Structure 1
């Protein structure tokens, strides 16, 4: 046999030898740090197979068959019939085994001459003969196990949600076909009482209309530029805001643009995020009134039917011509107004509206709260001292434009607009205050301020004084119960997130807590802390959902609070006492001195806390990056949840991405159930010593323009290197699934069902729709028809589910990432619409876009 004929065998031998060397080096490293010995054994078998191949011995295939069976037994021992972990352990072994059976590789094995072959001596093995049959048999067994695992889902919880058990409540005076706040009402339920769309007809949903905002990425945008809005539906119109802060009114039935307002955000802002999650709405006159008249003037090509009468426009505070833009001044100075863009579909610009009865409130990235007339988009001159605006930098310490603003809508409670805001995370110890402020909804006058650094003094701060710098902030969405007279504030912690040695007693009391404030006075009514001495950025990220539950035969006003660490706290919203039991569990110690950790942490009876990571939970696309993840796992500090950040690097699981985040959950007040989207990603948190307050420690290059140097923690002794725990190929080091949908009975705390959700179609180099269960960022919505909708997965789909069983019944492709919360409303044609935003999320890497898409059942003919 010529050397050319032996070449495929020699190449295969060389490849196996290289693999053997990698496995032996990595396997010995892993064994020395206390990990699995499998990789050493596998490396030896690869090496023996390579040597035998080189020597043309047919026994090479028998040795490799032993490797296949040994790998299969080891994999089943570690993960059972769980397909994706099995695949990562056996894919390379299986593929190479198939290549070893190719005739170009096996033909030289056992043969010494043509005469030998003719005499039948040392005939080459084949898949049906000799050692080739052994290898083929081992591959068949491995394939049978793999195929079996395709029909086994070890992560699936089967069950059914209960049906209607009680009246759903009043809906806070919002008509069934409308959506007046981020969570539809200030109760934050994300529940629509519409029932036209059901599990029986859900599959018939189709696009009714699509609108593009024109808001595109711009130079100087921060990485986390996101289209996270949940629009409002009032009367016959939709109202939404874009990442670059435009406010747009659309006809809710046709999607036609009615008016647009540009607040003229100043440039060079120190933004960590650029987003607007939504607007707030104050009804005209009687707070139960909801109709919004159409614009006074119809623009070419844009329908504003039905036309509003003069009396209607007067009642809504509209003048004959709307104002559609405004220009800011420096922080601390109320901005002046500009003329409208003549290209927008509104009437010619004029002075600001003299009187607005109904108002839309828009928080801006340069720290303003602007009141607009819903009818025309005009600025309300009877609010905020004549210019329709409040300067949120007023009485703020450490003024740095862009480092503080409200990414989330204000809460409208009675005659107050209650405003929180986000401050820069992990940039410095000299940031703005996290103060919560209540403004008179008619005049814009400050009524009270609650500063967690000075919590008992809620009377308006005198001029010349400033709020407590760097205090815990509420960047997410608040809820309110006007009947009980309380607003419920989800709080974060004091930056820097991972260093808490210098926190005050007040900060320790309120960090990472739900705080109930008296609506009238701002005084604390109760506080429930979800994490003690938070060193993990486990701030309370989600809007509390307020729902009445029947517990022990009694109707109890409850608050459902999802958290980043996976706990769902169900509290009596009158007192803050747990309805479902909460216990204190021991937590790891050993924070970097002089910091400390809390000895215990609260644990709810309703918890989506993931199991503690083990080495066998490490994953990768191949055995090689899985081996790298196993080595890395042993190189980090990890003692379970609440392992403190460390100098050597700590595994934080779940990471600060959160099991739940700002999308919160949806609750059905009639059934007393919850629809949630738990996500599981591990992060690595490493403290980096700082020698001074100016040099960059974790950023290789200074940020562009005014953008902040994230995670530097200027003023603290340590910066933080915070990153996802991923393999050398950039895949999560922990096994999938990484994302689920789950249904919960809130009265018992039982998980009725849980299913992995989403594919890697838009996250992998090759667009393969593998249903692995992917992370979600953006909330769910439920309806009285028994369906739920979700668009926030990393693949670009909106999906519809049967609430009772959790089964996915419908999905539609989105043109970009859907990291927002859908909503539902009734159009002027009487149809129920479902609205999705497809705009992407910069830090997640999902495709940016500007689409607003409405779905409905086909029109009846």
Structure 2
């Protein structure tokens, strides 16, 4: 056998029934590296002394890319491979699953769920990854004893034989489950989707959902559901919002779920209640939307919840995967959940109780001036760590590459409400800063346990948000559809207002706030301080005039950290994979990518001698506007 990666996963029943490989084996067994999403690898062959020698080892072209020109949505290659037992498993934007030799990139098998590539999916053509599960209850080696779970953009859950890619006939109906069944208020195709890898714990596979934003009050139910990993039978459901309290939907878990097998807990990051920018029909805090919630793995019952944003009016989803870690502080080890948010606030919570480890205070925030809106009077702010992203933008802060650009931005800002973070949307127009891209988005962060350093990428990107009175909405929608209005618009049916949002930009298209517009930030969790922050990426791939190049671009993807003292990340709008010194933030290496790297990398061992590889999907992102492609690239030392 050519791959020297240990395959003794089935011997781990003493730990859990989760298909979890010991990271020391050189696997990357889950989307987030481990079941708790730490994004950490103990591998150190590639380290600060030799990272400059990294070279491409292999490149695979999946063939799955769409630029939107033929009626299909644009593709977004956000997938991160997993590597288990000598095989790499990867999902493409077309939701196909590929099994590869991790040393060479040679295909072993592929599976095509045959989604409708011309359907109008609210999230575009995207899939972030798959999940491996091993059945530890029976005899090794049988068909579907080891399974790959895939949740597709058209809301189906597949169980595939990990060795062949064939659907497992005993799961659901011929290997699949229709996840739309049992969900209320689905009114059209493409508004209820799956974009993230399922979670597994014991003999359960757990999924949330992605639900179209801003369409109406009574959006589909945002239930989290657990299915029997063998049969596909529904075992439990948890609903983030009680419909008896408000006739609203969503609050859904569209990002990645984390699990703690030893404690029997499932950690879900919830999105906003529907619609995002007006809450007249959903009074109160709307618990448990915009929260991190711990559920019992056995029953799905609520163990604890912590709400990061009350009565969300800004699309401030809890989009980042909860990171489970052990905090070393005051001579004691405390199990914690590290939870970021699009606001740029970072919360450190006790994993068993949900209580803040660093103090959190409720502070007064601006009131709403829109009809019927009862905005939350206060919002939670952690006293430490400090806020990771900028939260205030006024006319005096206007930026431009020349005086004319700066003056145009200043004039635009003067017309808008700019009372700081949590300023409610208005008919006049409101600056939402950070905007709905974050702060922290689905990229999440990575935790180096030894160094007690948490690293994450953030966005400093303002949005201009308008509430549009119902009798004025249709002409605005028509203008957006015809391309004469650059803003994104949504009807918000059931409220007095539609809405529009767009990046607050200058005439030349530059954001109106001072750069950097994207950063990589390291937090020292031993004392709750910012260790370092650096601009992430440059605009050199988009702007040819060297005088106008800016450091720090908007970004989507995410970092990983390794025992070699390195943080690897692409994510920015230039086409590079970079390695940073985890302790200092110094950029030590960068490798050119053929397309945008809006995906989290992974690292693993492969080959006779157990060589360390770094792999990333480089296929760009249709919505972010980076170069599109279909590459998967692995790097190693010579």
Unaligned 5+ runs, structure 1 = 1-168, 288-313, 319-355, 457-466
Instruction: Show the 5 A alignment for 1:618-629.
Output: 618-629=398-409
Q: Which residue of 1 aligns with 2:87?
A: 237
Query: Per the alignment, do residues 703 and 282 of structure 1 end up closer, same or farther by CA in structure 2, a change over 3 Å counting?
Result: farther
After TM superposition, give the deviation of residue 702 of structure 1 in Å. 5.3
Q: 1:819 and 1:403, CA in 2 relative to 1: closer, same or farther beyond 3 A?
A: same
Q: Distance in 2 between matches of 1:502 and 1:468?
A: 7
For residues 49-102 of structure 1, the C-alpha deviation after alignment (integer angstroms, 9 at most, x for no partner) is xxxxxxxxxxxxxxxxxxxxxxxxxxxxxxxxxxxxxxxxxxxxxxxxxxxxxx
Displacement, 1:468? Answer: 8.0
1:183 paired with 2:32, answer yes
1:439-838 alignment, distance < 5 Å: 439-454=227-242, 470-503=249-282, 508-604=286-382, 605-606=384-385, 607-610=387-390, 612-691=392-471, 695=474, 697-700=476-479, 711-766=490-545, 770=549, 772-829=551-608, 830-838=610-618
- Does the 8 A contact of 2:195 with 2:209 survive in 1? yes
More deviation, 743-752/537-546 = 743-752
- In structure 2, the partner of 1:174 is 22
User: Number of matched residues?
Assistant: 610
Does the 8 A contact of 1:760 with 1:768 survive in 2? no
Asked if the contact 1:762/1:796 (under 8 Å) is kept, the reply is: yes
| Cα 1:697–1:429 shift into 2, 3 Å | farther
Cα distance in 1 between the residues matched to 2:389 and 2:59: 39
Q: TM-score, normalised by structure 2?
A: 0.91
> Residues 527 and 257 from structure 1, CA distance in 2 versus in 1: closer, same or farther, beyond 3 angstroms?
same
The CA distance in 2 between the partners of 1:673 and 1:172, in whole Å, is 24
1:130-279 equivalences under 5 Å are 173-176=21-24, 177-217=26-66, 219-223=70-74, 225-266=75-116, 269-273=119-123, 274-279=125-130
Residue 203 of structure 2 is aligned to residue 415 of structure 1 = yes
How far apart are residue 610 of structure 1 and its match?
A: 1.5
Greater radius of gyration (CA): 1
- Greater shift, 566-575 or 762-771, is seen at 762-771
Kindly indicate whether the alpha-carbon contact (under 8 Å) linking 1:761 and 1:768 is maintained by their aligned counterparts in 2.
no
Residues of 2 paired with 1:269 and 1:454: CA distance? Answer: 31
Alpha carbons 1:690, 1:697 under 8 Å: kept: no
Larger proportion of helix? 1
How far is 1:664 from its partner?
0.3
- SS, match of residue 615 in structure 2: strand
Q: Residue 163 of structure 2 corresponds to which residue in structure 1?
A: 375
Displacement of 1:361 in angstroms is 0.6
Contact 1:222-1:272 at 8 Å conserved across structures: no
> Cα 1:831–1:394, aligned 2, differ >3 Å: closer, same or farther?
same
Could you list the per-position Cα deviations for residues 355-378 of structure 1 after superposition, in whole angstroms to 9, with x for gaps in the alignment?
x11110111122100011111111
Work out the CA distance in 1 between the residues paired with 2:65 and 2:508: 30
Relative to 1, partners in 2 of residues 1:450 and 1:240: Cα closer, same or farther, differing over 3 Å?
Answer: same
After superposition, give the CA deviation of every residue in 1:604-661 in whole Å (9 maximum; x if it has no partner).
Answer: 1112142522433211121111111111111111111111100010011111110111
* Partner Cα separation in structure 1 for residue 319 and residue 289 of structure 2: 12
**In structure 1, how many angstroms separate the alpha carbons of the residues matched to 2:165 and 2:292?**
35
Q: Structure 1 residues 753, 268: closer, same or farther in 2, change over 3 A?
A: closer
1:397–1:468 Cα contact (<8 Å) kept: no
How far 1:185 moved relative to its partner? Answer: 1.2
How far did residue 244 of structure 1 move?
A: 1.0
Distance 1:436 1:504, change over 3 A: farther
Question: Normalized per residue, which structure has more strand?
Answer: 2
User: What CA deviation, in whole Å up to 9, does each residue of 1:484-519 have, x standing for no partner?
Assistant: 1111110011121000111166x7121211111111
Q: Classify 1:844/1:699 alpha carbon distance in 2 versus 1 (closer, same or farther; 3 Å).
A: farther
1:798 and 1:646, CA in 2 relative to 1: closer, same or farther beyond 3 A? Answer: same
CA 1:455 to 1:172, structure 2 compared with 1: closer, same or farther past 3 Å?
farther
Whole-angstrom distance in 1 between the partners of 2:566 and 2:85: 24
Matching of residue 390 in structure 1 with residue 177 in structure 2: yes
